[in-house]
Amino acid sequence: MTEYTAPTDDIKFLIDDVLDYYGHYQKYPSYEEATPDMVEMIITECAKFCETELAPLNQSGDKEGCHLKDGKVTTPAGFKEAYQNFVDGGWQGLSHPVEYGGQGLPPSIGLIRTEMLGTANWSWSMYPGLSLGAMDTLIRHGSDSQKNTYLPKLTEGVWSGTMCLTEAQCGSDLGRIRCKAEPQEDGSYSITGSKIFISAGDHDLTENIIHIVLARLPGAPKGTRGISLFMVPKILVNEDSSLGEPNSVSCGALEEKMGIKASSTVLLNFDGARGYLIGEENNGLEYMFTYMNNARLGTAMQGVCSAELAYQISLPYVKERLSMRSLSGKKFPDMDADPIIVHPDVRKMLLTQKAISEGGRAMIYYAGKIVDDMEQCGDEQEREALNDKLGFLTPILKGFLTEVGFESANLGIQVLGGHGYTKEWGLEQIVRDTRVATLYEGTTGIQGLDLLGRKMLMERGKTLKSFANEIMGFCKDHSLISSDPHKLRMHKFIWPLSKAVFNWQRYSLQIASRARKDRDLIGSASVEYLMYSGYITMAYLWAMMAQKANEEIAKKPDNIDFYRAKVRTAEFYFERIFPRIKTLSKTMMAKPRSLMRITSEQF
């Protein structure tokens, strides 16, 4: 059985020292209850729940999977009991409004909860995770009546939510959806069509499931401009929020997947199901992006979760597994062989996992502060700037972190060798579970096109310039301008980071200029550009962590080795991982000629 230990020291280092969550919370009266004692209690209790209740169900849930019988899905043994304990603990409404039964804490605290749930048991975590996006969509775009009727139950967790976008003939190209919505005399709509790949689309954990569905009204414009958003409950809801008759929504199939087998992914049929319009007609895609961006941050977290769990499995193994002797001489002469942690190649793989999990966590927690600011911001212009920044970072987080998280999971198998390939240790499950993270909520290619095509070129690099200025400001503040020993220690991070940020802007301008003559350049460069951007963003956060760790080391605390490990991991990242941007810069700046000259028949 795989075990999970919540990385509470790493989490506290980020929120206490690096990102100053508590100073951030003090800016907003609404967050006054997010005190250090309160957050400490939340982290401790959530860690206990994840370690003792969710982690033990991870492998058993994968082995059993979900079951479909008579159109109803049941989850693996233990899932329902764990979910009820989750509801009883009030975990679902942690960061949602008090007026609907939530605790009103900052969204950034919700991200901490999401990380621990996801690392302990990603399949289980998808059930409450899908509900979060449904709740946010209703909060931002639903009517007062819809909010008052549905949000209290969703916030409590006794109802859950889904996102119904994909159809058999279209994935990310949502302009091609065919699901129809016919207006009814009572103000509702009759929804007809099928949706595929619906995560948590049917299960036995909650008494009702609220589907958020994209569909077309009669006479709607073609393409994405003619899509509306509807709320379709599995069981109809009375005016007093009590449950009525079953709606005409049925589960047609349960997908047999490569991974996340304990998470139900289903085909849903809407056969004249009663639905309710959310917001205005034909604005559905705009509203759905509330859900999609929430889901993309959650999916980005899966990359961090897979890297963290793979590292936690790899670390004790390399300290116990004996094989050969160190090339520089025996390290454990009393043993038959040295533990494999003495071998440089094993250390390289282990440090890669560590650098990615800790660096990725920092990236998402950094984004969490932006989400907080957006929620509390009263100035429309400032809110728009925050939204642009989060929109710029979202494809980087989703695309980059899922790719490197998958790399980390594969490295775990390599570290364990033959043991990693067997089911016993759980690493092959992590690889299977996290493979889908690079696909759903938009593939890495889609994220790259979003970043380069929309967020950079269409916006003329405005947000990139702002973010680059922020990083360069950090570099300036910690550059070597005196004999200050602290700044001397930071020079190894500041110089390569500032150089990379300068080139990031230069390459972006060059791509924009060349793309005017050759539009295929955008598609050929987009994934490399995304990964290039991801490595720079992670370097920024590792530089921030190194800077804070050096400050703590100067104080000579009792846990000084914890901070030294941070600095040494940062050194590894800058020396062994960050140089990948050199190759990426070559490939993303290459002309697309070699891609496009070969004809379809020549493949």
> Which residue of the set 441, 528, 551, 575 is catalytic?
441
| Mean pLDDT calculated for residue range 261-284 | 97
Instruction: With respect to residue 503, please indicate whether it lies within any of the assigned structural domains.
Output: yes
This model's pTM is above 0.85: yes
Instruction: Please count the other Cβ atoms lying within 10 Å of the Cβ belonging to residue 594.
Output: 9
Q: pLDDT band for position 28 (50/70/90)?
A: very high
Residue 363, CA atoms < 13 Å, CB-side half-sphere: 32
Residue-wise DSSP of 206-240: SSEEEEEEEEB-TTPPSGGGG-EEEEEESEEE-TT
Instruction: With respect to residue 505, please indicate whether it lies within any of the assigned structural domains.
Output: yes
Average model confidence (pLDDT) for the chain?
A: 95
| Mean pLDDT calculated for residue range 520-536 | 97
Answer whether 130's CB lies under 8 Å from 210's CB: no
DSSP collapsed to 3 states, 86-119: HHHCCCCCCCCCHHHCCCCCCHHHHHHHHHHHHH
In the residue annotation, 286 being an active-site residue is answered as no
Residue type, 376: Q
Instruction: With respect to residue 559, please indicate whether it lies within any of the assigned structural domains.
Output: yes
Q: Two tokens at 223?
A: 């393409």
Find the domain containing 537 and state its range.
461-596
Instruction: With respect to residue 468, please indicate whether it lies within any of the assigned structural domains.
Output: yes
Instruction: With respect to residue 100, please indicate whether it lies within any of the assigned structural domains.
Output: no
Instruction: With respect to residue 591, please indicate whether it lies within any of the assigned structural domains.
Output: yes
DSSP collapsed to 3 states, 157-188: CCEEEEEECCECCECCCHHHCCCEEEECCCCC
| Cα-based distances in Å from 203 to 71, 241, 564 | 10, 21, 46
Please determine, for residue 58, whether its predicted confidence score (pLDDT) is greater than 90. yes
As a whole number of angstroms, the distance between CA 329 and CA 317 comes to 21
As a whole number of angstroms, the distance between CA 170 and CA 175 comes to 8
Q: pLDDT band for position 291 (50/70/90)?
A: low
As a whole number of angstroms, the distance between CA 245 and CA 385 comes to 45
Instruction: With respect to residue 102, please indicate whether it lies within any of the assigned structural domains.
Output: no
Overall number of domains in the chain: 1
pLDDT of 550 reads 95
Q: In DSSP terms, which residues pair with 271 in a beta bridge? A: 192
Please determine, for residue 484, whether its predicted confidence score (pLDDT) is greater than 70. no
Instruction: With respect to residue 525, please indicate whether it lies within any of the assigned structural domains.
Output: yes
As a whole number of angstroms, the distance between CA 127 and CA 123 comes to 8
Q: What is the pLDDT of residues 71-99, one digit of tens each?
A: 999 999 999 999 999 999 999 999 999 99
pLDDT of 289 reads 75
